[in-house]
Structure 1
Amino acid sequence: MAIAAVELIAAENRIRNALAPILLRRELVRLGEASDGELLTRVREGGLRRLAHGAYIDASLWESMFPEQRLLAVTLAHAKRYRERNWVFARESAAALWGLPLYGFTGLRVHVATREGSRGHSTRPVARYLTELPEPDIVDAAGVRFTSLERTLLDLAHSATPEVAIGALDAGIRRMFQMERGESASAVAEWRERRLAESKRSGRPGVRAARQLLQIADGRAESVLESVSKLQLSRLQVPYDVQVPVRAAGGTTYWMDFELLGQDAFGEVDGTAKYFDRSTHGAGTPEERLLAEKRREDEVRGVTGKRFVRWGAQHIHTARRLGERLSSFGIAVSGLEHC
């Protein structure tokens, strides 16, 4: 499906901003800004970080980056250093170019899609994948070619770990369909059914995992932690709904991360600054936000009579860990014995 122009513009801006601090050896030497010996010394002393052969970035900037930003920098270093090869970046590299979350992913290997008869082979820094890639599945942003948003999501569903894939799928679906909180997801459901039907005729590796993930992903989760929580709840066979509205006194609507169906309980996942935008969780001091959250919970309990179960990033690394957390709050977890 066609991606909204705003998404491509955002990708172009992201790429240009990330390309700017990447330094190429050939440019530095040609312009007299550094010699080979000086570059080697700066790398050895920790002032520069080598991203690719002949490509560098300031080490302090590198240290401040999240894992997705580091993969983006390494991917773009290869794009800049080997521009003449006209590579099409795919999988996790394409996800980084699109600005998708990659939960728990710390790899730095660049991923490139290649066609039958293409020269070259996989190396330690660059993984090449032989695949059929129609032109509509390729986009060009700021001179960098990579797989379309939809193709990137489907590739991750087939090849990435479920935790990486589900976070990217939810975020990507939300962007493909320009979803707003509380609106109907009928268009998403239709798209998902088409993809599931196509997968029945697919012989691609990882199709079974992709089908399971597509049945969970719907774009309603508003953070990668919610997305991974959905995955773990599904593994635990705990029925749930996502982003559930509760109308409180005075007409205020509160949105619950999860409702644990049939258990008279809401679930809330507490994240970190890395995964949550402060603007979506209120301004003010931490104490003021904590007090506001307590008032919110009190109002919701008063209206619904349901209790709250909270978990954090540390509880969703595995389904077992989340299951044990839920069980400690008296939540029935039928699938825990299989984890």
Structure 2
Amino acid sequence: MSQPSFDPSASLSLTSRMSTSPDPGDGLILASDLGNAFGVDFRLRRESSRGRLQRVSRGLYYPSARWDQLRDDERYLIRVRGAALTRRGQAVLCHQSAAVLWGLPMLVGWPNEVHLLVERASGGRSDPGVRCHALGVDARDVTTTDGLLVTTIERTVVDLAATLDLKSAVALVDRALYQDRFGRTPTLTTKDALLATLERMLPFRGSRRARAIIQFATHLSGSPAESASRVNIALSGFPEPELQHPFIVDGKECETDFYWREIDSAGECDGKVKYFNPEYLAGRSPEQVQYDEKQREDGIRRQVHGFGRWPASVGMSQFSLRRRLLELGLRPGPQRVLRGLERPSS
């Protein structure tokens, strides 16, 4: 008997009910969902070689035209969902794989592996593309989001604060704590909740580091680039800035990312998102945003002794930011905090 022809666009409905939803996970194709018919995997791989499908991992495919339009975090989210679906609800996603579901940032990029939390007795045995953490599964640390089992926001943040590089860890904790006065971004947790989870998890490797990073974190950092700047300011021994210091410009209150009262100077760290992301444009053109920002900056400059602005790339570099802040008039002293925490314990 001849095999029916394979139509990848029709098979999408088996896993995702393809729609106009912007959710990148809507295009997942799992080979296992197509049954055990002879040649299914071969035909999927053939469509991949023709450029119609992107092979994400073993048995997991995605339409190439849509894959090419996705950000790195969206691509990793697809890997995570695919791995969870193939395990049929038995997987508890953790570390970076939980972070992507919670919408947390990852400064150094997303891993190739999917991270799963498993019982200690399992020994942490991993499959290709999957890393298992045999740390034990406490029911208090597990919840469901987007239909998948995942570590709670508190457990996810504590795990990553203990294991990520310093700037990435601070950016992630800052985002979890962030309180957006405009209501665009939800607050995910509190510092008290993070520390309570950390205490309950003791003892574990990296606990001292995680505690110091959580204590250094703030709900006032508006972006990962600002968080990285805060880390480099501290590592260079510069005075601690006031965050989101208010000014009145043309009768409206606005804030600066950083303000140093001792030299009456303000600093701003900008990424491209402010000028190109539709959420921040709020219906304005990039040119209008640039003009409004220039008017705002001029209004602040009239009220301070000095004003400095740097891009995200400078905020990420301790040397480059140090040079900018020396030019602004700041003078470094002894390192305040974070000494010895640049690298996670191995």
Give TM-score scaled by structure 1 length. Answer: 0.80
Distance 1:82 1:52 in 2: 14
Q: Pick closer, same or farther for the CA change 1:55–1:69 going to 2, 3 Å.
A: same
What secondary structure does 2:326 align onto?
A: helix
- For 2:300, the aligned partner's letter is V
What secondary structure does 2:120 align onto?
A: coil
Q: Pick closer, same or farther for the CA change 1:246–1:278 going to 2, 3 Å.
A: farther
Q: Pick closer, same or farther for the CA change 1:330–1:46 going to 2, 3 Å.
A: farther
| Alignment map for 1:70-81 (pairs within 5 Å) | 70-81=75-86
Structure 1 counterpart of 2:117: 113
More deviation, 275-284/72-81 = 275-284
Matched, 1:22 2:23: no
What secondary structure does 2:177 align onto?
A: helix
Distance 1:116 1:240 in 2: 43
Structure 2 counterpart of 1:100: 104
Contact conserved, 2:274 with 2:281, CA < 8 A, in 1?
Answer: no
* Structure 1 residues 234-260: Cα deviation after superposition (integer angstroms, max 9, x where no partner): 21222212111112343x101111113
Distance 1:142 1:284 in 2: 32
- Tell me how far 1:49 sits from its aligned partner: 2.1
Contact conserved, 2:245 with 2:255, CA < 8 A, in 1?
Answer: yes
Q: Percent identity?
A: 27
What secondary structure does 2:220 align onto?
A: coil
Contact conserved, 2:57 with 2:79, CA < 8 A, in 1?
Answer: yes
More deviation, 23-32/126-135 = 23-32
Q: Pick closer, same or farther for the CA change 1:271–1:16 going to 2, 3 Å.
A: closer
What secondary structure does 2:99 align onto?
A: helix
| Alignment map for 1:44-59 (pairs within 5 Å) | 44-59=49-64
Structure 2 counterpart of 1:230: 230
Contact conserved, 2:275 with 2:281, CA < 8 A, in 1?
Answer: no
Q: Pick closer, same or farther for the CA change 1:152–1:275 going to 2, 3 Å.
A: farther
* Structure 1 residues 240-296: Cα deviation after superposition (integer angstroms, max 9, x where no partner): 12111112343x101111113422211111102399844445643333222221211
Contact conserved, 2:237 with 2:333, CA < 8 A, in 1?
Answer: yes
Q: Pick closer, same or farther for the CA change 1:152–1:192 going to 2, 3 Å.
A: closer
Structure 2 counterpart of 1:213: 213
| Alignment map for 1:29-40 (pairs within 5 Å) | 35-40=40-45
- For 2:70, the aligned partner's letter is M
Alpha-carbon RMSD: 3.2
- For 2:304, the aligned partner's letter is G
What secondary structure does 2:273 align onto?
A: coil
Matched, 1:315 2:321: no
More deviation, 314-323/74-83 = 314-323
Q: Pick closer, same or farther for the CA change 1:173–1:64 going to 2, 3 Å.
A: same
Higher percent of residues as helix: 1
More deviation, 274-283/165-174 = 274-283
* Structure 1 residues 108-159: Cα deviation after superposition (integer angstroms, max 9, x where no partner): 2111111122276124411111113321210123431010011111111111
What secondary structure does 1:83 align onto?
A: coil
What secondary structure does 2:162 align onto?
A: helix
Q: Pick closer, same or farther for the CA change 1:327–1:112 going to 2, 3 Å.
A: same
Distance 1:276 1:213 in 2: 31
Contact conserved, 1:47 with 1:59, CA < 8 A, in 2?
Answer: yes
Structure 1 counterpart of 2:245: 244
- Aligned with 1:152 (options 151, 156, 160): 156
Structure 2 counterpart of 1:125: 129
Distance 1:210 1:267 in 2: 28
Contact conserved, 1:270 with 1:310, CA < 8 A, in 2?
Answer: yes
What secondary structure does 2:137 align onto?
A: coil
What secondary structure does 1:310 align onto?
A: strand
**Deviant stretches of 4+, over 6 Å:** none
Structure 2 counterpart of 1:3: none
| Alignment map for 1:130-279 (pairs within 5 Å) | 130-174=134-178, 180=181, 188=190, 190-191=192-193, 198=199, 202-238=202-238, 239-250=240-251, 252-273=252-273, 277-279=277-279
Q: Pick closer, same or farther for the CA change 1:328–1:59 going to 2, 3 Å.
A: farther
- Tell me how far 1:164 sits from its aligned partner: 2.1
* Structure 1 residues 282-321: Cα deviation after superposition (integer angstroms, max 9, x where no partner): 643333222221211221222x233211111111233222
What secondary structure does 2:56 align onto?
A: strand
- Structure 1 stretches of 5 or more lacking a match? 1-14
Structure 1 counterpart of 2:12: none
What secondary structure does 2:205 align onto?
A: coil
